[in-house]
Structure 1
Amino acid sequence: MSAPHIIIDDTTLRDGEQSAGVAFTLEERIAIAQGLDQLGVPELEVGIPAMGTEEREAIRCLATQGLAARLLVWARMRDDDLLACHGLGVDMVDLSIPVSDQQIARKLRRDRAWVLATVDYQVRAARQMGLEVCVGGEDASRAAEDFLLAVLQTAAQAGARRFRFADTVGIMEPFGVHARFQRMRAHSDLELEMHAHDDLGLATANSLAAALGGATHLNTTVHGLGERAGNAALEEVVLALRQLHHVETGIDLRRFPALSKLVENASGRPVHWQKSLIGEGVFTHEAGIHVDGLLKDPANYQGVDPALLGRSHRLVLGKHSGTGAVMAAYAALGISLSRAQAFLLLARVRQMAVSDKRPPSEHELAQWYQQLGEDGPKVSAEAVFPALHPSSEGLTCS
């Protein structure tokens, strides 16, 4: 059986911008859309027409950019929301409606029968407007299974193309997601889309589980930007699908660093130093045993090839470095060190790491080497590191 092909429907420009305090300018929205398009992201959810005239004009502008990606907008299942979607030049509307008893009763003040009737009416109305329809099941993760299947059946009969399973409050785990999608797939021929939130840190895992359970589409955002704890991160989902499950999305992440920086600046949300795949520290190495292994063969400590993300390994000198790292750093400067010289210079590196909380600059390394040559070694390597022998060099407790 061949691996499935998953379509990424990225919602950075809709749910990503809904992150508290985030607001993109038109120029930023165009640049982000173009960046996603250049990566090969096939679908973009680009806004909420009911927000007003300015939002609709921005959506129209995006629709004229000649993007290869299909464009979607988001709307509530209301006549006025749907009317606002008319004439925007987009391909599909995600018509969202609560499907859990909690939100049906406590948010809508309605009942299940009203929801089914509304789905039927609004989907047919959207189809008459010439729009393809994704029925967005808000709070689907808390919906009763029998009612959820009834919503899928009603949506399909009314002419919908897709159903979005929204884990709106981020409470699901991968085993439950997989089982839910298997049951929906067995019941319906609709396209099935997973919309995961990261409140429990499981958005990416839940998205992978959905893909394996029968989903055809996954929602993502750049960096996982979005409401509260955010959504499933585009870069994580795409790379994990390929590397762990041999599932292709057609997205090439080698140009992702430029898009990452663009979204970071436009959103005002700095990327954490250790953020998976894209944080500055993810492919940065200091510990001696790791650096030694990487210098011998990158596969020794490389679970993900940074080149897949347009990145490379970076070796820095610090408290946990060994002489091999020091020699490699100086070799990059065109300076060949003896092992004894590396031992002595390592003492300077470790002292700076503790006192200044940073690695030395290239200028400082060159200066230290010059001083070493001018002054000559005052002490032996054994005196500096009496307990450190080549066989145990760089060992750290992990």
Structure 2
Amino acid sequence: MTKKIKLLDTTLRDGEQTAGVVFANEEKVFIAKMLDELGVDQIEAGIPVMGSDEKDVIKKIVKSNLKASIMGWNRAVIKDIEASIDCGVDAVAISISTSDIHITHKLNSTRDRVLEQMVKATEFAKFNGLYISVNAEDASRTDDLFLIDFFKAAKEAGANRVRFCDTVGILDPITTYNRIKLLKEAVDIDIEMHTHNDLGMATANAIAGAMAGATYLGATVNGLGERAGNASLEEVILSLKYAMNLEHANYHIEKIKDLCAYVAKASNREIPFWKAITGERIFYHESGIHADGALKNPLTYEIIKPEDLGLERKILIGKHSGSAAIKNRLSFHGIHIDDASSYELLIKVRNVSIALKRSLNDKELLSLYEEVLRERNLTA
């Protein structure tokens, strides 16, 4: 990568557009501060034209002296941009649909009028000294030749970058890579990926875009967003660091857990135990082979240290356990058993785990161990 990939977080805008989610104003300010501490490059703080309450909280975020750039989201309408200017943001997103299905059925417009409206709004924002991201809504369903024309017109009007929006989450990583590569070769302008998760590929598509040359990735905390949500900020950060091995992806990952937990509470959306990066049990092992490997060297089955994410490793005892895990767990209680005893105990563990449909706690394991001892004494 010749350019640093930067992160735009849109939790406070697109994340709050999740059906049923509303952030209190003070929550929005606190989330912005936590994002800034994490090291996010730009924060899309809201939609200023919504009115006084929204404008008040955006102004408060702007006045919080954060290191991150603060962006306001706008339609390609002058009054929207005026509202953003009034909030004091240093950057604006100017959004308009580019796909024929949106232009015809949503905007009741034409391609020429879309270009004219976008250019007029972009020139106005440029005249007012703002950093500009022109958003091609539904870019993933837009004709490539028209999208190239749109990108060129945005650049000529003064846009700093163009946001490629997979608005309905229809893309796959290979198609994403090929299309972003095509656009980068056709127009020399920074591209931002804005991906949705309708098919479960939002983070993968964002990373594919980065591999093809996109230099900004948009995401939300916990993957909040319309319908199935957006690319997950925490997944994108760890993918940049561990999948793409980018040395500049030096975000403060130790702050991810608290940020995600706070947003989960504020949005009333619990984090599943198995959620990538932040799930409470993603470093739990039960399978005999996996547990044995993790006990010998965690690198056998873990690419990230759990403590780096504020999580912990646990070896569970259950149906899929092996004797190594049972011996290890008993050793915490000062009990050391031979192979024959561990095998007898393993049979009991598996039978009870199947009957209870879960893993066993330490009390249950010790009780079964005592049974093994009693049975051995009776047969001795």
User: Residues 356 and 32 of structure 1: is their aligned pair in 2 closer, same or farther, counting only changes over 3 Å?
Assistant: farther
User: Residues 208 and 342 of structure 1: is their aligned pair in 2 closer, same or farther, counting only changes over 3 Å?
Assistant: same
Q: Percent identity?
A: 40
1:279 maps to which residue? Answer: 279
For residues 111-130 of structure 1, the aligned pairs below 5 Å read 111-130=110-129
Q: Is the 8 A contact 1:220 1:233 kept in 2?
A: yes
- Matches of 1:160 and 1:136, distance apart in 2: 10
Residue identity matched to 1:258: D
Offset at residue 335 of structure 1 (A) = 3.6
1:330 maps to which residue? Answer: 330
User: Residues 351 and 380 of structure 1: is their aligned pair in 2 closer, same or farther, counting only changes over 3 Å?
Assistant: farther
Q: Is the 8 A contact 1:235 1:277 kept in 2?
A: yes
2:355 maps to which residue? Answer: 355
Q: Is the 8 A contact 1:253 1:310 kept in 2?
A: no
Q: Does the alignment pair 1:50 with 2:55?
A: no
Q: Is the 8 A contact 1:3 1:246 kept in 2?
A: no
Offset at residue 86 of structure 1 (A) = 2.1
Larger mean Cα displacement after TM superposition, 125-134 or 200-209 = 125-134
Q: Is the 8 A contact 1:6 1:218 kept in 2?
A: yes
For residues 198-217 of structure 1, the aligned pairs below 5 Å read 198-217=197-216
Offset at residue 325 of structure 1 (A) = 0.9
- For structure 1, the residue ranges without an aligned partner over 5 or more in a row are 382-398
Q: Is the 8 A contact 2:94 2:132 kept in 1?
A: yes
For residues 158-177 of structure 1, the aligned pairs below 5 Å read 158-177=157-176
- Matches of 2:367 and 2:49, distance apart in 1: 62
Offset at residue 376 of structure 1 (A) = 6.8
Q: TM-score, normalised by structure 2?
A: 0.92
Runs of 4 or more above 6 Å deviation:
370-373
- Matches of 1:378 and 1:347, distance apart in 2: 18
Residue identity matched to 1:231: N
1:265 maps to which residue? Answer: 265
State the Cα deviation string for residues 273-314 of structure 1 (Å, max 9, x = none): 322232233211101111111111222222444344333322
1:95 maps to which residue? Answer: 94
User: Residues 356 and 27 of structure 1: is their aligned pair in 2 closer, same or farther, counting only changes over 3 Å?
Assistant: farther
Q: Is the 8 A contact 1:8 1:249 kept in 2?
A: no
State the Cα deviation string for residues 113-155 of structure 1 (Å, max 9, x = none): 1111111111121223332211011011111112111111221
For residues 299-310 of structure 1, the aligned pairs below 5 Å read 299-310=299-310
Residue identity matched to 2:301: Y
Offset at residue 7 of structure 1 (A) = 0.3
Partner-residue secondary structure (3-state), 2:185: helix
Offset at residue 31 of structure 1 (A) = 2.5
- Matches of 2:234 and 2:208, distance apart in 1: 16
Offset at residue 243 of structure 1 (A) = 1.9
- Matches of 1:29 and 1:315, distance apart in 2: 38
2:38 maps to which residue? Answer: 39
Q: TM-score, normalised by structure 1?
A: 0.88
Residue identity matched to 1:275: K
Residue identity matched to 1:323: S
2:149 maps to which residue? Answer: 150
State the Cα deviation string for residues 239-297 of structure 1 (Å, max 9, x = none): 22222222343323222111121122111112223222322332111011111111112
Q: Tell me how many residue pairs correspond in the alignment.
A: 379
Q: Does the alignment pair 1:294 with 2:290?
A: no
Q: Does the alignment pair 1:72 with 2:71?
A: yes
Offset at residue 79 of structure 1 (A) = 2.6
Offset at residue 364 of structure 1 (A) = 4.4
Offset at residue 89 of structure 1 (A) = 2.6
- For structure 2, the residue ranges without an aligned partner over 5 or more in a row are none
State the Cα deviation string for residues 84-135 of structure 1 (Å, max 9, x = none): 2122132211010011111111111111111111111111212233322110
Q: Is the 8 A contact 1:322 1:346 kept in 2?
A: yes
Q: Is the 8 A contact 1:195 1:218 kept in 2?
A: yes
Q: Is the 8 A contact 1:221 1:233 kept in 2?
A: yes
- Matches of 1:211 and 1:63, distance apart in 2: 28
2:190 maps to which residue? Answer: 191
Offset at residue 377 of structure 1 (A) = 3.3
Larger mean Cα displacement after TM superposition, 250-259 or 94-103 = 250-259
Partner-residue secondary structure (3-state), 2:140: helix
- Matches of 1:307 and 1:40, distance apart in 2: 19
- Matches of 1:123 and 1:309, distance apart in 2: 41
1:390 maps to which residue? Answer: none
